[in-house]
Amino acid sequence: MLMRRVRGHDEDAFATLYDRYAAQVNGLALSILRNPALSEEATHDVFLRLWQEPESYDSSRGSFAGWLLRAVRNRAIDLLRRRREHSIGGMEVDLASWIPDPDPGPEEQTMIQQHRQEVRQALDELVPDQRHLLELAYFTGLSQRQIADHLERPLGTVKSQIRVAMRRLADRMGEPGQGSADSATRIPPSRKRDLE
């Protein structure tokens, strides 16, 4: 319903979506860009696109939250790649810090926290090497080939480890009670239709 209203240029519906998702969108952009000004640029761009091209979200192709988070990730990585002029050595960062803050803070609702924990748990259950490669692929904007070069590892190994990690997460999240992007971004089932 909210997205239908946004398609009809309803500013209140847009503001509601912004209020509901801006922190999650900005948090993801910040995890990738590590720069508040740039993450706000990514957040701005994604919401502006949502307003200007609402038809780009197709509800038959998955959840709204998942689409929105993929959109901001793509935008953040675009910005990161444009910004990255220095050598690949510049990406030598503590990747552990990129993944979820272990202390989300008391203000988060119990349900959100629970689903976020489920996704984090699924990540924790990956073999450390698979998780490391997945994090590099997810947060740094490096291609598989760049990751392989960076780590001086065979490209085939990098590809297969990323594939296995993604498949495990997909299988894990497909289990009953496990979080999709919607469940992890504060959308209880009763409100999901609100977005269509």
Partner 1 sequence: MSDGTAHRPSSRPDPDDAVAAYALGVLDPEERQEFEAHLAGCPTCRAALSRHEEVVGAVGSSVTPVAPRPGLRDALLAEIRAPAPPAALPAPRRLRVLAIGSGIAASIALVSVAVLSLLLARALDERDEARHSAQEIAEYISDGGTLSALLPAAEAPPVAAPGHGSLVVAPDQSQAMLVVHDLTPSGDDRRYIAWAERDGERVELGVLPVNDEGVGWLLLSGREPMSAYETVGITRYSEQAPEGEPFLVAPIE
Binding segment (CB under 8 A) for partner 1, from list 46-54, 89-97, 188-196: 46-54
Q: How far is CA 168 from the centre of its chain?
A: 17
> How many amino acids of this chain bind partner 1 (CB under 8 A)?
78
Tell me the closest approach of the beta carbon of residue 1 to partner 1, in angstroms: 19
Residue in this structure with the two tokens 């990730």, named with its chain if needed? 73
> The dihedral of CA 43, 46, 50, 52: what is its sign?
positive
Neighbours of 115 (CB within 10 A): 23
The yes or no reply on residue 195 touching partner 1 (CB under 8 A) is no
> The dihedral of CA 53, 55, 171, 154: what is its sign?
negative
First-to-last CA distance in the chain? 5
**122: amino acid identity, one letter:** A
Binding segment (CB under 8 A) for partner 1, from list 89-97, 118-126, 188-196: 118-126
Cα 25 to Cα 50: distance, rounded to the nearest angstrom = 13
Cα 10 to Cα 51: distance, rounded to the nearest angstrom = 9
The yes or no reply on residue 47 touching partner 1 (CB under 8 A) is yes
The yes or no reply on residue 159 touching partner 1 (CB under 8 A) is yes
Interface residue with partner 1, options 5, 16, 40, 153 (CB under 8 A): 40
Task: Map residues 62-101 to x or -, x wherever contact with partner 1 holds by CB under 8 A.
Answer: xx-xxxxxx-xxx--x-x--xx-x-------------xxx
Tell me the closest approach of the beta carbon of residue 142 to partner 1, in angstroms: 7
* Closer Cβ to partner 1, 35 or 132, answer by number: 35
Contact present, 49 and 156 (Cβ < 8 Å)? no
Tell me the closest approach of the beta carbon of residue 147 to partner 1, in angstroms: 8
The yes or no reply on residue 188 touching partner 1 (CB under 8 A) is no
